């Protein structure tokens, strides 16, 4: 009897920042939790205070992922080794080695990679980004679309990604966005005269679109007992600002993040408004 959960994300840090509390909880409950990390997170530069420790940004990001994997307790981490893409329209998205370029020109290659992992690890439950990729990042959108296709194809014997036998996972979720926190942030952005459509260091994050693309929540996972492990995993991703949450009082963090929401995609919720408290609810676990 083994429960297996597969997360399919794009960058080293997506797993911790996005759902570290949920991962810590399921690992603690004895679930095999594995991760697909499609890119090496190799865009950007090594922060000044970390110079000299790593030769490349790729090495640094993968070391941070390894640190987070240890804290969270993944059973398996599959990396596809794509280069990072930039936000929509970036010049770097013309690099044939980046995920977005590959997704535009050879999508089946990416789908096959995800199918391969699903058939090997046999998860009952799979989680990926929402359709807007959280905040519109092309790599997030690419892996979300590839994962949803792979979910539907992995059990199809006529779809031959590899020599592994077909396997059909039972449930697919998107990570939910903390809508209340986002709306509060939107309110304050407007109050301070900022344009919510041009946020982030490079002014390329459309915060209004993030809020407009929030999807309904069908599961809420209580992670209040796992905030410390979650914080430790976040802190591993120091080059990405991980650990900065600790500047906020713990009660405020708990208010917004102690229950992580998920959107159920398969099986379709069919308008049901009841909220699951376990991603494995109703899943058959028989081997």
Can you give the binding site for Zn ion, defined by CB under 5 A? 10-11, 14
Residue of minimal CB distance from Zn ion?
A: 11
Q: How far is the CB of 9 from Zn ion (least distance, A)?
A: 7
Residue 120: CB atoms within 10 Å: 15
What's CA 132's distance to the chain center, in Å?
Answer: 12
Which residue's CB is nearer to Zn ion, number 10 or number 27? 10
Strand partners, 205: 199
In this complex, which beta carbon is closest to Zn ion, that of residue 13 or of residue 32? 13
Kindly report the backbone phi and psi dihedral angles of residue 235, in degrees, each rounded to the nearest multiple of 5, phi listed first: -65, -25
> At 79, phi and psi to the nearest 5?
-110, 135
Residue 174: burial class (beta carbons within 10 Å; 0-12, 13-18, 19+): buried
Output the six-digit token pair for 124. 């009952």
Shortest distance (Å) from residue 65 CB to Zn ion: 12
Nearest to 31 by CA among 70, 2, 58: 2
Q: Which is nearer to Zn ion, 14 or 232 (CB)?
A: 14
How many other CB atoms are there within 10 angstroms of residue 16's CB atom? 30
Report the C-alpha gap between 56 and 44 in whole angstroms. 10
Nearer to Zn ion, 61 or 112 (CB): 61
Cβ proximity to Zn ion, 139 vs 215, nearer residue: 139
Shortest approach of Zn ion to residue 137 CB, angstroms? Answer: 6
**Nearer to Zn ion among residue 128 and residue 263 (C-beta):** 128
Contact 7, 128 (CB under 8 A): yes
Tell the smallest beta-carbon distance from residue 274 to Zn ion (Å). Answer: 31
- Nearest approach, Cβ of residue 140 and Zn ion (Å): 6
Residue 11 Cβ, how far from Zn ion at the closest point, in Å?
3
């Amino acid at each position: 009897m083994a429960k297996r959960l597969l997360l399919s994300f794009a960058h080293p840090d997506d797993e911790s920042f996005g759902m570290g509390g949920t991962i810590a909880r399921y690992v603690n409950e004895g679930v095999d939790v594995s991760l697909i990390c499609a890119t090496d997170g190799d865009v950007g530069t090594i922060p000044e205070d970390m110079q000299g420790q790593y030769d490349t940004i790729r090495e640094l990001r993968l070391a941070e992922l390894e640190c987070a994997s240890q804290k969270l307790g993944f059973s398996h981490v599959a990396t596809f080794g794509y280069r990072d893409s930039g936000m929509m329209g970036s010049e770097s998205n013309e690099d044939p080695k980046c995920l977005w370029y590959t997704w535009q020109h050879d999508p089946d290659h990416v789908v096959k990679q995800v199918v391969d992992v699903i058939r090997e690890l046999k998860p009952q439950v799979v989680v990926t980004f929402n359709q807007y990729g959280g905040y519109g990042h092309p790599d997030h959108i690419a892996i979300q679309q590839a994962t949803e296709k792979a979910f539907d194809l992995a059990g199809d014997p006529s779809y031959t990604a590899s020599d592994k036998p077909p396997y059909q996972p039972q449930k697919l979720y998107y990570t939910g966005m903390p809508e209340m926190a986002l709306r509060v942030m939107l309110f304050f952005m407007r109050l301070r005269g900022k344009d919510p459509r041009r946020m982030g260091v490079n002014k390329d994050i459309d915060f209004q679109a993030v809020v407009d693309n929030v999807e309904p929540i069908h599961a809420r996972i209580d992670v209040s007992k796992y905030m410390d492990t979650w914080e430790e995993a976040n802190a591993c991703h120091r080059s990405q600002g991980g650990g900065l949450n600790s500047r906020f009082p713990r009660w405020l963090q708990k208010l917004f993040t102690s229950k992580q929401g998920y959107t159920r995609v398969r099986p379709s919720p069919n308008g049901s408004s009841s909220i699951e408290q376990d991603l494995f609810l109703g899943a058959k676990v028989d081997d």
